[in-house]
Chain A
Amino acid sequence: MGGLFSSLSNSLGALQAVESALAVSQNNVSNANTPGYADQVAVLNSQSFNLSGGLTGGVEYGGTRSTQNEYVDQAVQTQFSAQGYFNAQSSPLSSIQSLFDVSGQTGLTGDINALFQSFSAWSATPNTTTAQAVLTQAQTVAQDFQAASASLSQTTTSVNQQISANVNQINTLASAIQTDNVAIQNGGGVSNPGVQANLEASLESLSQVANVTTSFAANGTATVLLGGQTPLVMGSQQFAIQASFSGSGNPAGASILDSNGQDITSQVTQGSLGGLLSVSNTILPSIQGNGTQQGSLNQLAQQIADRVNSVLTSAQTSGGQAGTPLFTYDATDPSDVAQTLALDPTTTASNLAPVAPGPPAVSNGAALQLSNLGNSTAPADQIGGQTILQFLSGMATQAGQNAANATAGSDLHTQLLTQSQALQTQVSGVSLDAEAAQVLQLQQEYQAAGKMVTVIDTLANTLITM
């Protein structure tokens, strides 16, 4: 009887197994459009076959396993992080680029060029009309420096606000993951596709904001580390991070602090937060300065002001009076020069001094020296080994390059993300043997296509240089 009972019991088990498998299939269909959802495969375990021992074989339902694995998920998340990094930089870097016209025709670069042209016209005909034109153009340049400085400060404020928003978003997503972990723990080992889908969607969103790595415990709960080191979620515990702008610099640098208040800024290298931190802590201070560096905009403003003032105060008016400085600025803070640059209120067209006293005195010597200042290679006129105009051109080029890199990086990683997602879909749910054969074939095709585009690159280069 035991044998008959076993057979009946076994048949019932097999029926239940098939029903469970059907339920899994139904789940797959109904959740197919849920973000982060991966096919669930029913695991049907073989039962032992030993009639004498009452073991009649057959199958039993052994739960489900996700065909999505950590490798393909991480590949997608890596591309999300890289894309997030460049996307976040695009807007602030475009704002910075707009301040420096690389053609030298408009804005600050155009007006500095125009100032040197006004010096040239004044040297050709030193009179009050051309002197007044110098004053007008110098006023425009001073206002441009102030406007550029104000614009950079606005960009810093905006970037820092975005950094705070990103940190809040990380904490919100970490909280959602922690809630999913608790649900998984409470599930007692029974997989809930809805919870899994939520978890995957949160992890994907999180990877757009920062470089996170995820590992899964045997019970299915996720451990999420920021920068591979700082825990954000471990099982049922969440560790909140925070943004801090209380550094010593002016403007204050942005810092990210872990739940113990430790500075973990250097661990955030990717995702939108990584991109914004790079803009806030590296790119913007290199231009507008902070407590530890003067910044290229202030270097430029100070060099122009100091050299112009030096020439003019060493010169004389046609009436023999000592010259007066053209510019003034707040000399107490080197990173504040651009913001405070202005025309010296004592200077007028009549006391602008064009005469180099010599001996021998040259009636337009000082004006001539100023007209050549932009291209002067005299060490005192240079900034870091570059002429003033070379330095200005370098700033404009760098700003343009930074913006172009952000756009190109965003384009590239959008493409790689699309490819990673397509690969994820392609390999997910395929049997291991079929997958291995297909993946091997894919790899060979990628390599062959890669060689062919190298040939195209070389041929295009040959044509470009013809």
Chain B
Amino acid sequence: MLFTSEDVLAECQRLETMLREVQRRALVPRPEILSESEHELAEIAALLETLRQSILEHADPSALMQGNPANRQVLQQIQRMARKMKIQFEHGSNYCAGLLQIRLGTGYTAQGQAVLAPRPARSSFEG
């Protein structure tokens, strides 16, 4: 339970640090790292939701949030980072889609996904 606006600030700053770390690591394009990043992002989302619930349960939510202008600044920074990461992930996804399309594609689905060419079954695994 959070009782003061300083508690809110500390939690927001912790989440900002977590998000910054995910942002840094997600630049490594390896499936296992991106999978870990996704789980950490889910954890950050869950913590933000917990924070929201805690504030709502407080006797004076607006005082808790507006009592310290830094709260809003840190949350805005989190929002900016999230939007930047969204562009980063879209760029990564589009990059991969383009690569698949060039290498293996026969066209696109109505949803814009690359359709890969069916590959014939191999009678041998040699080579």
A interface, CB within 8 angstroms of B: 69, 71-72, 75, 411-412, 415-416, 418-420, 422-423, 426-427, 432, 435-436, 438-443, 445-450, 452-457, 459-464, 466
Q: B82 near A457 (CB under 8 angstroms)?
A: yes
Q: B31 near A438 (CB under 8 angstroms)?
A: yes
| 8 closest A-B pairs by CB | A445-B34, A443-B96, A450-B89, A452-B41, A446-B93, A446-B92, A459-B48, A457-B82
Provide a sorted-by-A list of 16 A–B residue pairs whose CB atoms are within 8 angstroms: A71-B102, A420-B95, A422-B29, A426-B29, A436-B116, A443-B100, A445-B38, A448-B38, A449-B37, A453-B83, A453-B86, A455-B45, A456-B48, A459-B45, A463-B75, A466-B52
B42 at the interface (CB under 8 A from A): yes
CB distance from B98 to the nearest CB of A (A): 6
Q: Which residues of A contact B44 (CB under 8 A)?
A: 456
- Closest residue of chain A to B31, judged by CB? A441
B70 at the interface (CB under 8 A from A): no
B68 at the interface (CB under 8 A from A): no
User: Dominant SS at the A interface?
Assistant: helix
Q: A463 near B27 (CB under 8 angstroms)?
A: no
Complex: A439 Cα to B114 Cα, angstroms: 12
Q: B27 near A446 (CB under 8 angstroms)?
A: no
Complex: A75 Cα to B99 Cα, angstroms: 10
- Closest residue of chain B to A411, judged by CB? B84
Q: Which residues of A contact B76 (CB under 8 A)?
A: 460, 464
Complex: A454 Cα to B61 Cα, angstroms: 24
Q: Which residues of B contact A72 (CB under 8 A)?
A: 99
- Closest residue of chain B to A438, judged by CB? B31
Given the known interface contacts A418-B27, A419-B91, A440-B100, the answer about A453 and B85 at a Cβ–Cβ threshold of 8 Å is yes
- Closest residue of chain B to A459, judged by CB? B48
CB distance from A190 to the nearest CB of B (A): 26
Q: B26 near A449 (CB under 8 angstroms)?
A: yes
Q: A460 near B82 (CB under 8 angstroms)?
A: yes
List 14 additional contacts besides A432-B103, A439-B96; criterion CB under 8 Å: A72-B99, A419-B88, A432-B104, A435-B99, A440-B100, A442-B96, A443-B93, A445-B31, A447-B89, A452-B42, A455-B45, A456-B78, A463-B65, A466-B61
Q: Which residues of B contact A462 (CB under 8 A)?
A: 52
Q: How many residues of B are in contact with the other chain, CB < 8 A? A: 51
B28 at the interface (CB under 8 A from A): yes
Complex: A418 Cα to B103 Cα, angstroms: 23
Q: A463 near B52 (CB under 8 angstroms)?
A: yes
Q: Which residues of B contact A461 (CB under 8 A)?
A: 79
CB distance from A456 to the nearest CB of B (A): 4
Q: A426 near B30 (CB under 8 angstroms)?
A: yes
B115 at the interface (CB under 8 A from A): no
From the candidates B27, B31, B51, B83, name the one contacting A442 in the complex (CB within 8 A). B31
Complex: A423 Cα to B88 Cα, angstroms: 12
Complex: A440 Cα to B23 Cα, angstroms: 21
Q: B38 near A452 (CB under 8 angstroms)?
A: yes
Q: Which residues of B contact A415 (CB under 8 A)?
A: 23, 27, 84, 88
Q: B65 near A436 (CB under 8 angstroms)?
A: no
- Closest residue of chain A to B16, judged by CB? A460
From the candidates B48, B62, B79, B100, name the one contacting A439 in the complex (CB within 8 A). B100
Q: Which residues of B contact A463 (CB under 8 A)?
A: 48, 51-52, 55, 65, 75
- Closest residue of chain A to B100, judged by CB? A439
Given the known interface contacts A71-B102, A412-B87, the answer about A456 and B19 at a Cβ–Cβ threshold of 8 Å is yes
From the candidates A416, A436, A466, name the one contacting B88 in the complex (CB within 8 A). A416
**What 0/1 pattern do residues 20 to 54 of B give for CB contact below 8 A with A?**
00010011111100110110011011001101100
Q: B29 near A460 (CB under 8 angstroms)?
A: no
Q: Which residues of B contact A412 (CB under 8 A)?
A: 84, 87
CB distance from B42 to the nearest CB of A (A): 6
- Closest residue of chain A to B80, judged by CB? A408
Q: Which residues of B contact A452 (CB under 8 A)?
A: 38, 41-42, 45
- Closest residue of chain B to A443, judged by CB? B96
Q: Which residues of B contact A427 (CB under 8 A)?
A: 99
Complex: A238 Cα to B51 Cα, angstroms: 62
Complex: A335 Cα to B73 Cα, angstroms: 41
B72 at the interface (CB under 8 A from A): yes
Complex: A442 Cα to B95 Cα, angstroms: 10
- Closest residue of chain A to B99, judged by CB? A439
Complex: A389 Cα to B20 Cα, angstroms: 40
Q: A446 near B100 (CB under 8 angstroms)?
A: no
Complex: A460 Cα to B8 Cα, angstroms: 13
Complex: A35 Cα to B96 Cα, angstroms: 24
Q: Which residues of A contact B48 (CB under 8 A)?
A: 456, 459-460, 463
Complex: A46 Cα to B88 Cα, angstroms: 43
CB distance from A447 to the nearest CB of B (A): 5
- Closest residue of chain A to B39, judged by CB? A452
